Amino acid sequence: MNLHEKTLVALSGGVDSAVAAKFLVERGHAVETVYVKTWEHEEDLLGECPGAQDLIDARLVSEKIGVPFRILNLMDFYHQHVVEPMVEGYAGGITPNPDVLCNREMKFGALLDYALKEGFSALATGHYCRRVESPNGEIQLWEGKDKDKDQSYFLSRITSKQLHYARFPLGEMEKRDVRTLAKKHNLPVADKKDSQGICFLGKVKVPEFLSNFIDDKPGEIVTVEGVVVGKHKGLHRYTLGQRRGIGVPSNTDHENFVVTGKDQTENRLIVAFENFSESTLWADTFEVSDLSFLSQSKLSSSNSLLGKARYRDPSTPILFEAKEHDCAKITFSTPQRALTPGQVLAIYCNEQLIGSGIYKLQQQGRASLSA
């Protein structure tokens, strides 16, 4: 990071972005902060949605560290570029990742555009990842030092241009150090719990959130052999790999049903017993589309590639085979469970994030090429 650069820090109302702002202030940067407002009537949403308190906390943090504070209204943009694609995806039988979409379209899309128009030279966030400049001048995105908190996966769809202006002050820190710094500087959010919800919306459960936009359409629950075993409320309420809340009891051997597919044409939810040999649940070969790269040079066969199938999954060796129409065939070294169309595969070379793709929708709502 260049010293004294004019930096806009996106505050979420949480401890991570607060410490990121304080860190930059202490290092002489010309810092201002911003809270992005995305929802007008959060009380209309089901579940806990602490947006009002987050705004208050963001303002208190800014006052504490002595920097100007802004509020940016992006409600219409958020609805058009995050909510609508998310709702359309679920209605069409796929499972988009709103946090990944939010980072590309909101934080490093609309918010970054605003920052540059306002004369800032950088936009900082509280993400746990590292922005690295290589000897040849290439700007790279690396996993954060704290592997338990690493959030590079959520940034796997941003562009090289967006990364150029991004700053991640927490990249070399561990979470416990962030909490320690927050308490040391008496930040108002030092003891605030981390948010675990939809980007910018807090602890709103996805099925309940979607119920505001998609009408239930009940149908049959069937086994992979076609035997009817129950009724579902609406396909958008379920995701591949789901065990709980299906509404179908286990058998006499205490084997539990798990969702393995969706038949959109017949409005049927497909289930099978949890079993490693179940090919509709476990597979090693998938197709991804809509490829996005920060460093295509690392795709050469001489580099060992890793795939992070989902955010909390470990990185796994993969084979990458480029196909036509911006697609690729991905073969994992070990079978993966219930990978879902619409979600994101992040591709790494060691700790460096080099790109990503979206799992393609195959037969019966699955992503696997082999099922």
Q: Provide the annotated active-site residues.
A: 102, 199
Supply 217's token pair: 């359409």
**Residue given tokens 């010293």 in the structure block:** 3
Q: Tell me the C-alpha distance between 335 and 195, whole Å.
A: 31
CA 1 → CA 4, 55, 181, 300, distances in Å?
A: 9, 27, 20, 30
10 Rama class: left (phi>0) / alpha (psi -120 to 50) / beta: beta
Q: Tell me the C-alpha distance between 143 and 128, whole Å.
A: 8
Neighbours of 167 (CB within 10 A): 21
Q: Which residue from 173, 169, 162 is spatially nearest to 107, judged by alpha carbons?
A: 162
Quick one: 274 exposed, middle or buried, by C-beta within 10 A (0-12, 13-18, 19+)? Answer: middle
Q: Tell me the C-alpha distance between 335 and 333, whole Å.
A: 7
Q: Tell me the C-alpha distance between 362 and 283, whole Å.
A: 13
Q: Tell me the C-alpha distance between 233 and 259, whole Å.
A: 14
